[in-house]
Amino acid sequence: MNPTRALMSASALLLGALGLLATFAPDRVLRWLGAPSSPPLMLLAQVLGALYVGFAVLNWMAGENLIGGIYSRPVAVGNLVHFLTTGLAAAKLLARTPELRALWPLVLLYAGFAAAFAFVLFRHPVRAPSAAPATPTSDPPGPAPS
């Protein structure tokens, strides 16, 4: 199994869950954040949810790819930028409005994912150990050469 598969799967599940929630229940997300459920904000929440679902699908499908160093660099950079900037923005919001303390678990998750993707991005990729050593193929059946 690819060593980065767990990271890609976990980030896909988190982003997919957040995306589906924002897409199909934007009013509840806005209410949880203390924002009014106005039509423009509901549309913005749904668009954000669609972006999260798209990113989740990207991470899920890239799970078997070799990631690290120069391999799948756009996927690693995109994830790092997303998790780092969103985590910092959420931490800044929490510093200004401490009553939103229910966001702390999400901020900590984002910080963990940012650190993990930074680690993956700036290290040489590790290949999964193969189940069986590769053996050279034998000559095709047929008459022996003379």
Q: Is residue 44 part of a domain?
A: yes
* Domain assignment of residue 33, yes or no: yes
pLDDT, one tens digit per residue, over 127-139 is 666 655 555 555 5
Among 14, 66, 22, 19, which Cα is nearest to 43's? Answer: 22
Q: What's the alpha-carbon Rg for the chain, to the nearest Å?
A: 22
pLDDT attached to residue 1:
61
pLDDT value of position 144:
60
Question: 100 with 93: CB under 8 angstroms?
Answer: yes
Is 123's pLDDT higher than 80? yes
Residue 146 within a domain: no
Residue 30 banded pLDDT, cuts 50, 70, 90: very high
pLDDT digits (tens, 9 = 90+) for 34-72: 889 999 999 999 999 999 999 999 999 998 888 887 788
For the chain, the domain total comes to 1
In the prediction, which pLDDT does 34 show? 85
Show Cβ contacts of residue 67 under 8 Å, excluding neighbours closer than 6 positions. 2, 4, 8, 75, 76, 120, 125
Is residue 135 domain-resident? no
pLDDT at residue 126 greater than cutoff 80 = no
Residue-wise pLDDT tens digits, 62-97 = 988 888 877 889 999 999 999 999 999 999 999 999
Residue 59 is predicted with a pLDDT of: 94
Q: Which domain holds residue 114?
A: 5-121
pLDDT at position 135: 54
Torsion-angle region of 10 (φ positive above 0: left; ψ -120 to 50: alpha; else: beta): alpha
**Structure tokens belonging to residue 115:** 């650190």
Q: Is residue 102 part of a domain?
A: yes
Q: Tell me how far apart the alpha carbons of residues 42 and 34 are, in angstroms, rounded to a whole number.
A: 13
Question: What pLDDT, on the 0 to 100 scale, is given for residue 95?
Answer: 93
Considering the domain boundaries, does residue 52 fall inside one? yes
User: In the prediction, which pLDDT does 67 show?
Assistant: 84
Say if residue 138 is exposed, middle or buried (CB neighbours under 10 Å; 0-12, 13-18, 19+). exposed
